[in-house]
Amino acid sequence: MTASIQPIPSLLEDVVAGRRLAAADAVRLLESRDLAAIGRAADTVTRRLHPEPFRTYNIDRNINYTNVCTAVCDFCAFYRGPKSPEGYVLDRGVLLEKIAETVAVGGDQILMQGGLHPTLTLEWYEELLRDIKERFPEVNIHGFSPPEIHHFTKVSKRPLREVLERLARAGLGSLPGGGGEILVDRVRLAMTRGKVLTDDWLEVHRQWHELGGRKHGTMMFGHIETLAERIEHLERLRLLQDETGGFTAFICWTFQPENTEMAEIPPAGPFEYLKTQAVARLYLDNFPNIQSSWVTQGREIGQLALLFGANDMGSLMLEENVVSAAGTVHHLTLEQMRSAIRELGYVPRRRNVFYELFEDDDQAVEPAAADPAREKARGVKLPVASSLP
């Protein structure tokens, strides 16, 4: 006798009531077209986890310290090969000035990521971190995604634990969860060369968590992965979170094909984005926070994401080179970000990367828009380009 398949409405009822979603059922939800029902279930779970009357955001600056990369990712329009005349390593003075500007507008964090540079040593990164902390002790350095950390172990020939400990001692505050794309080696091998595979990506997270560090989990979807592989990705994150509890949040975004080697793949639209995020909220029952990706989706869908499982608007990025190089350029002012939250009936509250709320929430001033002409005048080569390491 074949076991009967649970109808989706009763499946959603069970998940909302707290039953852990099985992988096969999650695939069925992704296959379903009932966005409204899945969204309502995700929103109910979000309200249960976050009954507070506010929704959060933070302010930071994305600094891409180099675009030189030894890896080749077909979805990335940001990187330049080691011999490219368009390759850059950001001048230290310029980098520090960018942080000073971030602090001046109330930012307390920088997101610092780059390509996999072939020759920069571990000592170079330590010195960079120390320079920043000496000048800006209050700024959290949210830096170096797992592929970069894994690459540092190869260049320095030092064990992963030592690399993480040395970077933490030099001032690294938290690690971003980038470069995960889809954590299935079939997918990774098909679209990247020279970049960390699934187990090693997760190992960077595991060891960082064991050191007491915190991280985000991420997913870039809507390219060559199957729906089952999308769920396999979520399963790997959920298992690691069961083991370490070190993820603070999850954020997913759709692949941005423009200017990449995979430009023929039609971009996933808002329907797929909202459904996938809602399923992720239901699946990742051990993740406390889900962030909207307004940077890739724009204000309206980014706002709607708060009704489809997200409890956080993400960051008001003062500079974004990677997604913009892939042709997706969305900007929000601080007031637009806050009003997007207010329009849904929530109070906007600023938080830091550890999800601690700011008391002086209204002290943040409206940041000036990024000015490409000014960046050029400062000798910064603006990269043209998708997902960093």
List residues near ligand SF4 by CB under 6 A: 69, 71-73, 76, 78-79, 115-116, 147, 195, 387-389
In this structure, are residues 252 and 218 in contact, taking their beta carbons and an 8 Å threshold? yes
In this structure, are residues 249 and 355 in contact, taking their beta carbons and an 8 Å threshold? yes
* Distance of closest approach, residue 256 Cβ to ligand SF4, in angstroms: 12
Backbone angles phi, psi at 7, to 5 degrees: -65, 150
* Distance of closest approach, residue 253 Cβ to ligand SF4, in angstroms: 13
* Distance of closest approach, residue 232 Cβ to ligand SF4, in angstroms: 20
Residue 73 or 364 with smaller CB distance to ligand SF4: 73
* Cα 155–chain centre separation: 25
Residue 115 or 309 with smaller CB distance to ligand SF4: 115
**298 dihedral zone (left: phi>0; alpha: psi -120 to 50; beta):** left
Residue 116 or 237 with smaller CB distance to ligand SF4: 116
Closest residue by Cα to residue 308 from 273, 335, 343, 333: 273
Residue 79 or 287 with smaller CB distance to ligand SF4: 79
Instruction: Report how far apart, in Å, the C-alpha atoms of 206 and of each of 177, 200, 201, 237, 317 are.
Output: 12, 10, 9, 10, 27
Residue 144 or 247 with smaller CB distance to ligand SF4: 144
* Distance of closest approach, residue 115 Cβ to ligand SF4, in angstroms: 4
Residue 340 or 388 with smaller CB distance to ligand SF4: 388
Q: Using CA atoms, how far apart are residues 342 and 336, in angstroms rounded to an integer?
A: 10
β-pairing, 247-254 vs 215-221, is parallel
* Distance of closest approach, residue 142 Cβ to ligand SF4, in angstroms: 16
* Distance of closest approach, residue 76 Cβ to ligand SF4, in angstroms: 3
How many CB atoms within 10 Å of residue 50? Answer: 18
Residue 219 or 313 with smaller CB distance to ligand SF4: 219
Closest residue by Cα to residue 217 from 195, 228, 202: 202
Kind and range of the H or E element at 199? helix 198-210
* Distance of closest approach, residue 148 Cβ to ligand SF4, in angstroms: 8
Residue 268 or 388 with smaller CB distance to ligand SF4: 388
β-pairing, 172-174 vs 109-113, is unpaired
Q: Using CA atoms, how far apart are residues 239 and 20, in angstroms rounded to an integer?
A: 12
* Distance of closest approach, residue 173 Cβ to ligand SF4, in angstroms: 21
β-pairing, 109-113 vs 72-73, is unpaired
How many CB atoms within 10 Å of residue 48? Answer: 10
Residue 41 or 116 with smaller CB distance to ligand SF4: 116
Q: Using CA atoms, how far apart are residues 323 and 254, in angstroms rounded to an integer?
A: 11
* Distance of closest approach, residue 67 Cβ to ligand SF4, in angstroms: 7
Helices (H) and strands (E) in the chain, counts: 15, 11
